[in-house]
């Protein structure tokens, strides 16, 4: 099986290689083709004990079975169709095709059936959206949901290596010239991820729109997305108005059976606790004292794995099963 | 005018002295009596150019006009009544008396009239509550409010010097033995401030209950309170279901006239920007695209000044005017 990873030297690209190594390579030999922009050629990456030299994206499109893209929207728009016309199925982690009605937007634990209608490209959702819908889906099915208020605490690695470098430089008393953040992030929090349109940031619009597409409902999500000085791990305070009033034990029962969910009930984890894990950790579950439909939770996941690479590789596994 | 500051060597106590210097001492000479627990006696503090030796709380209760307390609930419960019986009016920053029906809980910019019925003790509200109600009150009066969802990003200084020491020690690769936090706070966020009761933390219960007492309504507040690695400045993502559907310009008009509010409209500040300021900064004001009653905002204030010392001194000013 030939698999190209486009953006192989980025944070998510490297994590994709690691997750492929762990989950696919032991059973299905993979011939991996790491690809990046001109800037990164000459670099090499290790995969399953072998060293691979990174190839430049403009050197020509190789024929592969699957291509995992995580090199930004522009690279996806330019090169993904070329991979498809050479026979590949593309799993794209950028936002380029996510809201395209012809492209399925898939979280295998939530809407695996949507993958069937693909025309060569399957979109991997936004990191904050993936961990939220994995938590929401079983509740939606069991109890109905009328509205969701969500506030995110997003790690700097969500902005790639530049985000990590910015935090580290500032911690050392310096400043990183290519910081992706609008303000200093060390000892600070910044309520802006992407640009603003009608008052909501790009990240917030993704959570509003992608959630509806994945869950096939007009569910109203009201997000505030905030960058925090954490390296890896997105946390979300999720406040849900359910469509019914189940006892908390029924909520526990549903979430205990939910795929990819670790239920912590009253307890909680912090982002520092979940680095390297693939599950979505759901804690601090509680109903409001004055409203038995208002359920709140603290939801944490590794943004590079669960929020990006692991979901992409699970899409690949779904495609392999077909 | 004789003013005792009990807890004068703590972070809020020192800030109280600074705010008294700035706002009262230039017009009304103050004879200040700094008081602390036995642990801090021998220390001294400066006030309006003079050095004062800190007196131990158990050395006997001095007769003063006003006593500002910020030495924890136990100290307030033990000593505040003694100050009152010696003729003082006590302004208490602890949570000891806040929900006592005989004690007014006052934000001078919100419910100054409640101060009239005091019996010697006036309670200063919780920091997160103060900045939120200063923002909510003008909206409640103008448009009505049905429900509030709020998620806080609270600075380590809210836990006093111990909070600052914990963050600094961890930044240096170490660990502070007396950390007030349940987990490491450097490069992390912790959804716990105080202990838990029925799923909500102490801090969250304060926001639920104190808001209702200050605003004299049964308004349903649903909070998630989170500690973040920021030194000074609490931020709040506030999502409000209004009772009506005003155009955003009307919301601007109301907040432009609101006392102690700096209106930023589409723009925002971060906690790092507001250290040393007394105002509440309201930014990222927006209505949800699918619900014209759902108003969201990003609300930031200096927790030591606006959230504690400045409000306490404004209560003192109100009392002086009487």
What pLDDT, in 10s, does the model give residues A10-63?
Answer: 999 999 999 999 999 999 999 999 999 888 878 999 999 999 999 999 899 999
- Residue A240 to chain B, least CA–CA distance (Å): 10
Report pLDDT for A56: 94
Task: Calculate the average pLDDT of chain A.
Answer: 97
Whole-number Cα distances in Å, A60 to A36, A122, A134, A315:
12, 22, 37, 25
- pLDDT values of chain A reduced to their tens digit, one per residue, 322 residues: 999 999 999 999 999 999 999 999 999 999 999 999 888 878 999 999 999 999 999 899 999 999 999 999 999 999 999 999 999 999 999 999 999 999 999 999 999 999 998 999 999 999 999 999 999 999 999 999 999 999 999 999 999 999 999 999 999 999 999 999 999 999 999 999 999 999 999 999 999 999 999 999 999 999 999 999 999 999 999 999 999 999 999 999 999 999 999 999 999 999 999 999 999 999 999 999 999 999 999 999 999 999 999 999 999 999 999 8
A 10 A CB-CB count for A59 gives 10
Report pLDDT for B42: 85
Report pLDDT for A322: 82
Does the distance separating the beta carbons of A296 and B272 come in below 8 Å?
no
State how far the Cα of A277 lies from the Cα of A267, in Å rounded to an integer: 18
Chain A residues with CB inside 8 Å of B184's CB?
272
Calculated CA dihedral for residues A273, A277, A280, A281, nearest 10 degrees: -30
Out of A188, A218, A235, the one facing B230 most closely (by C-beta) is A188
Does the distance separating the beta carbons of B187 and A272 come in below 8 Å?
yes
State how far the Cα of B283 lies from the Cα of B291, in Å rounded to an integer: 19
- Residue B224 to chain A, least CA–CA distance (Å): 7
Q: Which two tokens stand for residue B126?
A: 């919780």
User: Is A37 strand, coil or helix?
Assistant: coil
Chain B residues with CB inside 8 Å of A298's CB?
191, 224
Residue given tokens 């809407």 in the structure block = A111
Residue given tokens 């559907």 in the structure block = B245
Q: How many domains does chain A have?
A: 2
Same domain, A172 and A66: no
What's phi and psi for B68, nearest 5 deg?
-95, 120
Q: What are the pLDDT digits (tens) for B226-242?
A: 999 999 999 999 999 99
State how far the Cα of B322 lies from the Cα of B317, in Å rounded to an integer: 9
Same domain, A149 and A98: no
Q: Indicate the pairing of strand B196-197 with strand B200-201.
A: antiparallel
Calculated CA dihedral for residues B76, B79, B83, B86, nearest 10 degrees: 160
Sign of the torsion angle spanned by Cα atoms A154, A160, A166, A172: positive
CATH of the domain at B254: 3.30.360.10
Report pLDDT for B40: 85
Contacts of residue B75, Cβ cutoff 8 Å, sequence gap at least 6: B6, B7, B37, B57, B69, B94
Interface test with B, best of A289, A300, A301, A302 (most B CBs within 10 A): A289
Give A205-264 as a DSSP string. HHHHHHHHHHHTS--EEEEEEEE-S-SS-EEEEEEEEESS---HHHHHHHHHTSTTEEE-
Contacts of residue B172, Cβ cutoff 8 Å, sequence gap at least 6: none
Segment B96-111 shows an average pLDDT of 98
Report pLDDT for B39: 83
Examine the predicted complex and report whether its ipTM is higher than 0.95: yes
Same domain, A276 and A142: yes
- Residue A212 to chain B, least CA–CA distance (Å): 13
Q: Which two tokens stand for residue B18?
A: 């600074």
Chain A residue closest to B272 (CA)? A188
Does the distance separating the beta carbons of B266 and A196 come in below 8 Å?
yes
A270 closest CA partner among B74, B170, B198: B170
Domain that holds residue A10: 2-124+308-321
* Cα end-to-end span (Å), chain A: 15
- Residue A243 to chain B, least CA–CA distance (Å): 17
CATH of the domain at B19: 3.40.50.720
Does the distance separating the beta carbons of A284 and B191 come in below 8 Å?
yes
Out of B222, B268, B285, the one facing A296 most closely (by C-beta) is B222
Q: Which two tokens stand for residue A161?
A: 């290596």
State how far the Cα of A109 lies from the Cα of A138, in Å rounded to an integer: 10
> Cα B31 from chain centroid?
25
Segment B174-180 shows an average pLDDT of 97
**Cβ proximity of A263 and A279 under 8 Å:** no
**Cβ proximity of A237 and A296 under 8 Å:** yes
Q: How many CA atoms lie within 13 A of A235 on its CB side?
A: 31
Same domain, A312 and A164: no
Task: Calculate the average pLDDT of chain B.
Answer: 97
Out of B196, B224, B270, the one facing A188 most closely (by C-beta) is B270
What's phi and psi for A240, nearest 5 deg?
-120, 130
The pLDDT-based confidence of B124 (bands split at 50, 70, 90) is: very high
Does the distance separating the beta carbons of B237 and A288 come in below 8 Å?
no
Segment B217-231 shows an average pLDDT of 98
**Cβ proximity of B4 and B68 under 8 Å:** yes
Same domain, B30 and B139: no
Chain B residue closest to A199 (CA)? B286
Chain B residues with CB inside 8 Å of A203's CB?
none
State how far the Cα of A211 lies from the Cα of B201, in Å rounded to an integer: 29
Task: List the catalytic residues of B.
Answer: 127, 234
Out of A189, A198, A231, the one facing B228 most closely (by C-beta) is A189
Does the distance separating the beta carbons of B190 and A291 come in below 8 Å?
no
Same domain, A316 and A297: no
Report pLDDT for A232: 98
- Residue B207 to chain A, least CA–CA distance (Å): 13
Same domain, B140 and B284: yes
SS (H, E, C) chain B: CEEEEECCCCHHHHHHHHHHHHHCCCCCCCEEEEEECHHHCCCEEEECCEEEECEEHHHCCCCCCEEEECCCHHHHHHHHHHHHHCCCEEEECCCCCCCCCCCCECCCCCCHHHHHHCCCEEECCCHHHHHHHHHHHHHHHHHCEEEEEEEEEECHHHHCHHHHHHHHHHHCCCCCCCCCCCCCCCCCCECCCCCEECCEEHHHHHHHHHHHHHHCCCCEEEEEEEECCCCCCEEEEEEEEECCCCCHHHHHHHHHCCCCEEECCCCCCCHHHHCCCCCEEEEEEEEECCEEEEEEEEEEECCCHHHHHHHHHHHHHHHHHC
Total residues belonging to chain A: 322
State how far the Cα of A183 lies from the Cα of B269, in Å rounded to an integer: 9
A 10 A CB-CB count for B243 gives 15
Does the distance separating the beta carbons of B271 and A153 come in below 8 Å?
no
Same domain, B187 and B261: yes
Report pLDDT for A307: 98
State how far the Cα of B164 lies from the Cα of B174, in Å rounded to an integer: 13
Does the distance separating the beta carbons of A239 and B294 come in below 8 Å?
no
Give A162-210 as a DSSP string. HHHHHHHHHHTT---TT--SSS--TT--BS-SS-EETTEEHHHHHHHHH
Does the distance separating the beta carbons of B220 and A290 come in below 8 Å?
yes
pTM: 0.97
Same domain, B76 and B148: no
Same domain, B113 and B133: no
- Residue B187 to chain A, least CA–CA distance (Å): 4
Total residues belonging to chain B: 322
Same domain, A98 and A215: no
Does the distance separating the beta carbons of B290 and A189 come in below 8 Å?
no
Same domain, A146 and A287: yes
A319 closest CA partner among A34, A112, A16, A47: A112
Chain B residues with CB inside 8 Å of A272's CB?
183-184, 187-188
Out of B198, B266, B288, the one facing A289 most closely (by C-beta) is B198
């Amino acid at each position: 099986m030939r698999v190209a990873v486009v953006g192989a030297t980025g944070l998510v690209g490297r994590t994709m290689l690691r997750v492929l190594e762990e989950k696919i390579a032991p059973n299905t030999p993979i011939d991996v083709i790491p690809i990046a922009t001109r800037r990164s050629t000459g670099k090499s990456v290790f995969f399953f004990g072998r060293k691979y030299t990174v190839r430049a994206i403009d050197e020509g499109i190789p024929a592969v079975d699957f291509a995992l893209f995580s090199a930004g929207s522009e690279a996806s728009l330019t090169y993904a169709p070329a991979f498809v016309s050479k026979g590949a199925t593309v799993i794209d982690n950028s936002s380029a095709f996510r809201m395209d009605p012809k492209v399925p937007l898939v979280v295998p634990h939530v809407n695996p059936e949507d993958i069937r209608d693909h025309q060569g490209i399957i979109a991997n959702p936004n990191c904050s959206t993936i961990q939220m819908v994995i938590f929401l889906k079983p509740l939606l099915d069991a109890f109905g949901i009328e509205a969701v208020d969500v506030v995110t605490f997003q790690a700097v690695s969500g902005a790639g290596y530049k985000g990590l470098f910015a935090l580290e430089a500032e911690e050392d008393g310096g400043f990183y010239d290519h910081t992706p953040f609008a303000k200093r992030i060390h000892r600070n929090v910044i309520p802006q991820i992407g640009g603003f349109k009608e008052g909501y940031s790009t990240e917030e619009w993704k959570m509003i729109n992608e959630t509806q597409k994945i869950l096939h409902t007009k569910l109203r999500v009201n997000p505030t997305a905030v960058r925090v000085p954490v390296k890896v791990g997105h946390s979300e305070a999720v406040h849900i108005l359910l469509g019914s009033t189940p006892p908390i034990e029924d909520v526990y029962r549903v979430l205990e059976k939910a795929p990819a969910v670790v239920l912590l009930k009253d307890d909680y984890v912090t982002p520092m606790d979940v680095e390297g894990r693939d599950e979505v950790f759901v804690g601090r579950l509680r109903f409001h004292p004055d409203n038995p439909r208002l359920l709140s939770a603290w939801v944490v996941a590794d943004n590079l794995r669960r929020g990006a690479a692991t979901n992409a590789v699970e899409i690949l596994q779904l495609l392999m099963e077909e």
